[in-house]
């Protein structure tokens, strides 16, 4: 019995995700896998991802993970998307003009370049570092302070068509969506596995989450 599958589609390093999930679920059977059958058999699925959208989508399709992900979501199993694992759930990414999975409606857009902060310094892209997360009252935020900081590294951000899906925003310099949820699906732009205590708390909440 696989308790938690961390989906591996060859995009980036999953070691950190695996370590952090193990830390919050020490007794669980956690498997890093790209095997559709193993993912489909897991009780919970973590869907990370790094790199560029065109490469991610190519690998997801080549490994037939698009169908598996849709199946997991349909069956109501807790599903956590992280970083690119959030972006590819949307319809389309501006990065490489890439059609994505379309589980959420809306595009993925690049941060504008050349913006300045309050001190007149250039706002760098990628948005890299610790930023404040303004969150709602979803169970995955339990025990996490309002405006807690999480670690981000990304150049693109999601724009859900349905504002009701938004579970958190951050500012760079304009507000952008950094978490969405629907039913058993929760996905974040930041890296909980690299966000110290707040990140581990979110992963702990995911491991304990029983969506209705």
Partner 1 sequence: MLAKRIIPCLDVTAGRVVKGVSFVELRDAGDPVEIARRYDDQGADELTFLDITASSDDRGIIFRIIEKVAEQVFIPLTVGGGVREVGDVRNLLNAGADKVSINTSAVVNPQLVADASARYGSQCIVVAIDAKQVQPGKWEVFTHGGRKATGLDAVEWAQKMQTLGAGEILLTSMDQDGQKKGFDLALTRAVTDALEIPVIASGGVGNLQHLADGVKIGGADAVLAASIFHFGEYTVQQAKQYMAQQGIEVRL
Q: Are strands 156-158 and 44-47 parallel, antiparallel or unpaired?
A: unpaired
Minimum Å distance from CB 138 to partner 1?
21
Rg of the chain on CA atoms, in Å: 16
147 binds partner 1 (CB under 8 A): no
Q: Which of 96, 99, 129, 175 binds partner 1 (CB under 8 A)?
A: 129
Residue 193 designated active-site: yes
166 binds partner 1 (CB under 8 A): no
110 binds partner 1 (CB under 8 A): no
- What does each C-alpha distance from 202 to 37, 63, 119, 195 come to in angstroms? 27, 29, 33, 10
Minimum Å distance from CB 126 to partner 1?
6
Q: Are strands 79-82 and 127-132 parallel, antiparallel or unpaired?
A: unpaired
SS3 state of residue 171:
strand
Distance CA 48, CA 87 (A): 10
135 binds partner 1 (CB under 8 A): no
Helix (H) or strand (E) run with residue 37 in it: helix 36-41
Residue 75 designated active-site: no
Candidates 40-48, 69-77, 87-95, 110-118 — which segment interacts with partner 1 by CB under 8 A?
A: 110-118
Candidates 1-9, 57-65, 121-129, 178-186 — which segment interacts with partner 1 by CB under 8 A?
A: 121-129
Q: Which entry of 83, 100, 154, 157 is annotated as an active-site residue?
A: 83
Tell me the catalytic residues: 83, 191, 193
């Amino acid at each position: 019995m696989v308790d938690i599958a961390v989906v591996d589609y060859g995009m980036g390093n999953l070691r950190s995700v695996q370590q952090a999930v193990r830390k919050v679920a020490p007794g669980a059977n956690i498997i890093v896998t790209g095997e559709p059958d193993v993912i489909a058999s897991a009780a919970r699925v973590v869907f990370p991802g790094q790199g560029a959208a065109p490469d991610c989508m190519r690998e997801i399709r080549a490994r037939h993970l698009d169908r598996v992900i849709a199946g997991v979501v349909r069956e109501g199993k807790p599903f956590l998307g992280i970083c690119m694992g959030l972006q590819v759930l949307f319809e389309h990414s501006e990065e490489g003009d890439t059609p994505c999975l379309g589980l959420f409606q809306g595009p993925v857009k690049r941060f504008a370049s050349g913006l300045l902060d309050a001190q007149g310094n250039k706002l760098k892209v990628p948005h890299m570092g610790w930023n404040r997360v303004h969150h709602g009252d979803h169970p995955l935020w339990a025990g996490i302070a309002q405006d807690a900081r999480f670690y981000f590294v990304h150049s693109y951000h999601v724009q859900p068509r349905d504002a009701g899906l938004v579970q958190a925003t951050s500012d760079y310099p304009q507000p952008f969506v950094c978490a969405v949820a629907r039913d058993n699906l929760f996905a974040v732009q930041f890296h909980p596995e690299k966000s110290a205590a707040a990140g581990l708390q979110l992963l702990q909440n995911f491991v304990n989450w029983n969506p209705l």
